[in-house]
A and B are shown apart, each in its own frame.
Chain A
């Protein structure tokens, strides 16, 4: 097993009396896309800013490539690419100039790959940044990041201003990074995007990581939705281990949810009653998200 690219241990950050980060622990390994999700104000961007050495942690440790994020930030940034959530660009420079400048500051240069990305994202690089829309500003930052040959990529809600076509190009580019063994930290609100791309997910709430793991692992923590049509008059509400049982639209049709631990007992019990149809739906990331935030399934 290779060493993690990013390692965060019990990270804390206080702004005056306000404890923005209480306990953040997770890691990101090479060749994996790590999804970082949580509602507004939970501490996603604060965590990322600590990782970039923009703000200093008040407790705990964070390392990238085994180096301290605060004191070794310059050498870390040599191999890191970052796209902020709100991209602010120098208003009197053109997009093309900004992309080149950002690349040069990492010791790389404008390459055929850069031109290719500009074409694929459909950016007009001759326009002054003052005239770009939010999506176009994000494209500038994304093009600069993807044409850089880094080992660790951090994206902070990178697609919030992109149209669906460009969002797809972004996803392809991220999957390409993954196949090349790069590590990616993706903070996002778009849960379908995270579900599709991320190998592992960390959920943050009020400055604490409350869950990390793969989507499959997390699904075990919640209930599976089941819709069943039976051949007799069995009343499913009497069955132990089920939750939220409702009668369906058809006669003998029932909908309920089951905890994974109870699944085999419930299925055994149902099989006594001539199952005609059975549909099981694993919880989506959205269900998981709601589960963690509202305490309901």
Chain B
């Protein structure tokens, strides 16, 4: 029996097991890409529209978010499209790949399914090879769909080569990170650890590309996530990034196989150590239990978001210096005006970042709330139910931790941006003041709370629909992140709470909106709580 025996059968099994997941991702991503391409000529069709957006895209704030692209000669609709969409689509595709790769390997192993499979006449590396093949197939298929969709959309300035470059470029970037997920799945000894490790590396490459993009774009070659920017599909098509991605993916795959051969099933390179003989005096109820189980995750998220914020803050001095892009301004308008303008730019940059930080800060809280249900179905709560412990207390232990985590994460993230940003400036008066900072905090917190409250409602009343929380968060994030660049109508932005509050601190804080959003969050939590007290709990 070879080490790869029956890989083919496992691939078929994997594809069947994941069919709905795959279908959902593929349809969503392909539809997003194609529909934007389809509409794009209507958004940026004329030369004046292109000229206007070209300036915006060159500003350091947007570069930090969407990547650095060089424009030469006459800029076409297709080039603007590539600039706005490439990095964004790559990010979503990486998220998809990490979710699929760890689900197909480490998660199955945690459930004991891999043990069952390996007990049959199946090669030792076959489950890993099957997962890798699955990723190749999905990414390849999605890449081809992208290319065909782009070709069909036929934007002004697009070329067939560019269309295929985008499709295959995104596919190879996705694959690279998918294989990275397979590798971390071999290193960590459970799926949560593998996911954490993979996301840390993903975050690191994102930060590396952001900092290099703003300061020295040629250094972006050092971040795998930066490679998609180097495709330059519609001005100077470059196939090098694809070869680089595929080569790196191959190396990582080889490492994953190596790690797989040198470990026991169920164990990782990073092993679990023995722990305490008795519980500490702090571990005494549901709240401390969540903390004990999730503290690494919670601390990890908060620290991660702060680092994320600090990294954004380091580009303040580049962004908030109008003289760099417009050196004659000081002579024309005088110093005071320049400082005023710098301040305005930073305010608008911070307001945009606040939305991103809020969306990211919702994630750990939402995970905690949804965990109440996954713990329930995995039987981990059964031992707790038999204790003198009301459902109310159980629910609010999770919900309270979630709200505090997300709130702290957001304050930490925005704090990181503002503190680091202000410190990097030559003239402090250009930066964000303390009162502006707190306005930014109060403006986004109700949005975070409404998202979390919606999850409480779902877990309390309709736990089967809990995945809707993620869809809604993604919708809210995309509608504000991409909303103005894609010129989405106002009602789309108003679909999710992220669009209800004006951009603060760029605009004034609206306390009426604040109040009713807080009330809405409270009502949703109460309804969810009533539902949770009434419904049957599910057990595996």
Residues of A at under 8 Å CB distance from B? 49, 52-56, 73-78, 80-82, 84, 86-94, 96-102, 104-107, 110, 125-128, 130-131, 141, 144, 154
Contacts and interface: CB of A to CB of B under 8 A. Distances in A.
A37 B279 CA distance: 36
B250 interface: no
A88 B387 CA distance: 15
A88 B380 contact: yes
A100 to B, nearest CB: 3
B385 interface: yes
B385 A92 contact: no
Contacts of A86: 379, 540
Given A88-B540, A96-B279, 8 more contacts: A88-B380, A94-B276, A97-B278, A104-B284, A105-B286, A126-B274, A130-B189, A154-B386
B136 to A, nearest CB: 31
A84 B382 contact: yes
A145 B262 CA distance: 40
B388 A75 contact: yes
Contact of B276 (A54, A90, A96): A96
A161 to B, nearest CB: 14
10 A-B pairs with the lowest CB-CB distances in the bound complex, closest first: A100-B279, A88-B379, A82-B386, A94-B275, A55-B536, A77-B388, A78-B388, A97-B279, A126-B274, A105-B387
Contacts of B190: 91, 130
Contact of B383 (A78, A102, A154): A102
B275 A93 contact: yes
Contact of B380 (A52, A81, A90, A104): A90
15 contacts: A49-B539, A81-B386, A88-B378, A96-B276, A97-B278, A97-B279, A98-B383, A100-B283, A104-B285, A105-B284, A105-B387, A105-B389, A126-B277, A130-B189, A130-B190
Contact of A125 (B278, B284, B289, B378): B278
Contacts of A131: 272
B277 A101 contact: no
B47 interface: no
B380 A96 contact: no
A45 B33 CA distance: 50
Interface string B367-404: 00000000000111011111111100000000000000
Task: Determine the main DSSP class of B at the interface with A.
Answer: loop
Contacts of A77: 386-389
Interface string B497-540: 00000000000000000000000000000000000001011011
Contact of B385 (A54, A75, A141): A54
A114 to B, nearest CB: 9
B293 interface: yes
Contacts of B537: 49, 54-55
Contacts of B385: 52-54
Contacts of A75: 388
A75 B537 CA distance: 19
Given A128-B272, A128-B274, A106 B279 contact: no
A66 B540 CA distance: 30
B292 interface: yes
Contacts of B384: 105
B275 A126 contact: yes
Scoring B190, B272, B386 by chain A CB atoms within 10 A of each residue's CB, the highest score goes to: B386
Interface residues on B, range: 35 or more
Nearest to B376: A54
Interface in B438-483: none
Contacts of A80: 386
Contact of B278 (A87, A102, A107, A110): A110
B285 A54 contact: no
A130 B534 CA distance: 32
Contacts of A96: 275-279
Nearest to A86: B379
Nearest to A130: B272
Contact of B293 (A53, A87, A92): A92
Contacts of A106: 387-388
Nearest to B293: A90
B293 A105 contact: no
Interface in B305-330: none
A84 B383 contact: yes
A208 B289 CA distance: 39
Contacts of A82: 383, 386
B277 A125 contact: yes
A208 B366 CA distance: 42
Contacts of B285: 104-105
Contacts of B386: 52, 77, 80-82, 84, 154
A97 B276 contact: yes
A163 to B, nearest CB: 20
A104 B282 CA distance: 11
A126 B274 CA distance: 5
Contacts of A104: 279, 283-285
A55 B385 CA distance: 11
Contact of A84 (B379, B389, B390, B534): B379
Contacts of B286: 105
Nearest to B280: A97
Contacts of A53: 385
A141 B540 contact: no
Contacts of A55: 536-537
B279 A128 contact: no
Contacts of A73: 390
Interface in B250-303: 272-280, 283-286, 289, 292-293
A93 B278 contact: no
Contacts of B539: 49, 54
A90 B537 CA distance: 18
B292 to A, nearest CB: 7
B239 to A, nearest CB: 45
A74 B278 contact: no
A55 to B, nearest CB: 4
A54 B382 contact: yes
A105 B276 contact: no
Contacts of A125: 277-278
A101 B279 contact: yes
Contacts of A100: 278-279, 283
A181 to B, nearest CB: 21
A52 B383 CA distance: 11
A250 to B, nearest CB: 49
Contacts of B277: 94, 96, 125-126
A141 B280 CA distance: 19
Nearest to B267: A131
A168 B17 CA distance: 42
Nearest to B292: A93
A74 B393 CA distance: 11
Contact of B389 (A74, A99, A141, A154): A74
Contacts of A101: 279, 283-284, 289
Given A55-B536, A96-B279, A97-B275, A74 B383 contact: no
